Amino acid sequence: MDKNKTYKSILVAPLDWGLGHATRCIPIIQYFLDKDWQIFIACPPDSPHQALLSKEFPSATFVPLFGYDVQYAKSRAFFMPKMFFQLPRINRTIKKEQNWLKDFVKNNKINLIFSDNRYGLSHPDIPCIFMTHQLELILPKKFQQRIAQKIIYQYINQFRQCWIPDFADNGIAGALSHPRKMPSIPVYYIGLLSRLGPKIESEIVFKYLVVLTGPEPQRTILESKILGIAGRISDRVLIVRGTPNQINVPFAPENCKIVNHLPNDKMQKAFAASEFIISRSGYTTVMEILSWQKKSILIPTPGQTEQEYLGKQLHEQHYAYCFSQDCDDYLEEIEKASDFEYTFPHYDSNTYLQTMDKALQDLNISE
């Protein structure tokens, strides 16, 4: 950087539930980097999120910020009860990050704060943007959804803008991103976000690319199930474990290649060289898959109502084939996907750039 030039600076803070929030921040960070902004990234130290983002953005300044450290249950039946009992700790974490932000901005010149689903990172004196695809929480009872929405809107409305990575019309996230009641702050549908960039063409090398994501223990549970049947698949399989801070990999059958992590450029090549993508129905992965119009097989995290809702909706729209992790015969379901009639939404890779330009102009933030 030119020492004589004054640079604007942005603090980017992705939620630490799985790697999806970090990966979908990659095009956001790149946008500001291309405009010569100084980048601060807040995430738990020595975490998979820091490992991933530091490989993509070695020039960024990483600042330690504690995570929410949410733990998932091993079974569907205990998913909601376990989440419920973690709510007091989550609330304390939000209050702690509010205090953390006050201290941070006292010691650092920050022009913009960008929070991906971290509810406590708003500041009254600095423009703050909150990004989420989930304004409607999917809960067992409607009254629970109304209460939850009221609570999260109290936090969201303290930001200047809310960005939603979906289409304004015919959105892929359905009711999650298109609730009946919207926040009171300006809302911008910025289109799909994908770290992969424009689609590239390649010879198909792998029949299946398995992309493992999400918090433990469910990431490991699905990995074990996939490895258990991978040797019975007659085609080549590439497995990306989603563990960027690990070195060793488990044993895999001869038809499988297994890696802990792929940086963005290599993940692009892996997507291009694969006919099917097998993954969770996490929203970030879904955006990457649909932006490249790839055939996919989605396996929602058991009990995670957002993923189950999204997987069901995408299956009904024929955007993806979806089946339950508790399914008895993975091979049968994977084979069914070969006969599934896929269709894909129209996608313009420049939409988010144009919408971000407009949103920042509305905040009176120039380059």
DSSP 46: T
Report d(CA 313, CA 317) in Å as an integer: 6
Q: What is the pLDDT of residue 93?
A: 86
Q: What is the pLDDT of residue 365?
A: 80
- Is residue 70 scored above 70 in pLDDT? no
| 261 neighbors 242 (Cβ within 8 angstroms) | yes
Q: What is the pLDDT of residue 48?
A: 86
Report d(CA 347, CA 265) in Å as an integer: 21
Measured on CA atoms in the order 149, 153, 156, 162, is the torsion positive or negative? positive
Q: How far is CA 52 from its chain centroid?
A: 13
* % of the chain at pLDDT higher than 90: 66
| 277 neighbors 289 (Cβ within 8 angstroms) | yes
Report d(CA 126, CA 159) in Å as an integer: 9
Q: What is the pLDDT of residue 89?
A: 74
Kindly report, residue by residue over 294-303, the tens digit of the pLDDT. 999 999 998 8
DSSP 301: P
H/E element, 34: helix 26-34
Kindly report, residue by residue over 301-315, the tens digit of the pLDDT. 988 888 999 999 999
Report d(CA 313, CA 228) in Å as an integer: 28
3-state secondary structure of 336: helix
For tokens 């091993």, what's the residue? 74
- Of 8-12, 90-94, 275-279, the one with minimum mean pLDDT is 90-94
Question: Which residue from 182, 167, 136 is spatially nearest to 319, judged by alpha carbons?
Answer: 167
Report the 3 state secondary structure along 70-88.
Answer: CCCCCCHHHHHHHHHHCHH
Question: Which residue from 327, 331, 24, 357 is spatially nearest to 166, judged by alpha carbons?
Answer: 24
- Say which residue, 263 or 359, is predicted with more confidence: 359
Q: What are the chain's domains?
A: 9-191+349-362 (3.40.50.2000), 206-337 (3.40.50.2000)
- Is residue 210 scored above 60 in pLDDT? yes
pTM, entire model:
0.88
For tokens 């129209």, what's the residue? 346
Residue type, 198: P
3-state secondary structure of 211: strand
Report d(CA 308, CA 258) in Å as an integer: 27
Mean pLDDT in the chain?
A: 89
Kindly report, residue by residue over 75-129, the tens digit of the pLDDT. 655 556 666 666 777 778 889 999 999 999 999 999 999 999 999 999 999 999 9
The torsion region of residue 27 among left (phi > 0), alpha (psi -120 to 50) and beta comes to alpha
Report d(CA 293, CA 304) in Å as an integer: 25
Residue type, 268: Q
Q: What is the pLDDT of residue 304?
A: 85
